[in-house]
């Protein structure tokens, strides 16, 4: 009924809610597929938002710059806030750039859910301690993003892969429920945004799932992933 948005805003890692004048706020923006061509529009939107103000009291900010990051973590200046101009095209990453397959493949991996994560399974809140629940949500999200915004280059996840995911065990977990909400000016009410945060260690033959897990680090998973 609705295509996922080809954009992810990764919030700052710190948990504080107030910033003093002159303090820097850094966040990450992920554009997917056709949305990459719309980067100039996002720049205009972020600059306009800074002039209008955000949060209680309409705190204002100035966009100092935008850096693009490649698969190796190296940064390239894309936009200068001083000249208000694009200074380079910046790196565009493809799926193959992100699929770093270790040798040998580990039998244990730990997934960190850094922000409140809510997934669905059989129309109910999903249990992230079950690997197949995580994988089903990853496959669905990545496949839909690929179909609607990337011309179907990646392809859908095979059904056998989802069945095989049920053989992966949970070695340990330290999940806790984080209740959080935001105020929607459009709906004029508070919207619940709670989810699980913490770590889960999965154990088993992870080789066939590695590409989906690698892409998940960039595209993320769950309700409100955007």
Three-state SS at 50: helix
pTM exceeding the 0.85 threshold for the entire prediction: yes
Enclosing H/E stretch for 44? helix 39-52
**pLDDT for residue 56:** 76
Q: Is 122:140 a contact under the CB 8 Å cutoff?
A: no
Tens-level pLDDT at each residue, the chain (226 residues): 788 999 999 988 887 888 899 999 999 999 999 999 999 999 999 999 999 998 778 899 999 999 999 988 899 999 999 999 999 988 999 988 888 888 889 999 999 999 999 999 988 889 999 999 999 999 999 999 999 999 887 766 678 899 999 999 999 999 999 988 888 878 888 888 889 999 999 999 999 999 999 999 999 999 989 9
CB atoms within 10 A of CB 222: 20
Residue with tokens 């504080």: 16
181, 112, 142, 71: CA torsion to nearest 10: 120
**pLDDT for residue 156:** 62
Q: Is 119:194 a contact under the CB 8 Å cutoff?
A: no
**pLDDT for residue 170:** 97
* Alpha helix stretches (DSSP H) within 67-221: 95-98, 131-149, 159-165, 210-219
**pLDDT for residue 95:** 87
The distance in angstroms from the start CA to the end CA of the chain is 17
């Amino acid at each position: 009924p609705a295509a996922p948005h080809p954009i992810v805003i990764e919030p700052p890692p710190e948990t504080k809610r107030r910033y003093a004048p002159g303090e820097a706020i850094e966040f990450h923006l992920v554009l997917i597929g056709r949305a990459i061509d719309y980067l100039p529009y996002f720049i205009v939107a972020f600059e306009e938002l800074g002039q209008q103000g955000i949060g209680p009291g309409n705190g204002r900010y100035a966009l100092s710059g935008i850096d693009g990051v490649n698969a190796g973590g190296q940064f390239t200046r894309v936009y200068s806030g001083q000249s208000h101009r694009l200074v380079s095209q910046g790196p565009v990453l493809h799926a193959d750039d992100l699929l770093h397959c270790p040798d040998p493949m580990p039998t244990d991996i730990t997934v960190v859910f850094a922000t409140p994560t809510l997934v669905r399974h059989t129309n109910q809140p999903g249990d992230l301690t079950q690997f197949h629940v995580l994988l089903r949500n990853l496959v669905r999200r990545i496949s839909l993003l690929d179909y609607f915004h990337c011309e179907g280059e990646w392809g859908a996840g095979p059904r056998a892969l989802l069945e095989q995911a049920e053989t992966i065990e949970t070695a340990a977990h330290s999940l806790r429920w984080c209740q959080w909400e935001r105020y929607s000016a459009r709906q004029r009410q508070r919207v619940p945004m709670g989810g699980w945060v913490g770590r889960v260690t999965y154990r088993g033959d992870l080789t066939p799932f590695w590409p989906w897990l690698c892409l998940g680090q960039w595209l993320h998973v769950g309700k409100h992933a955007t």
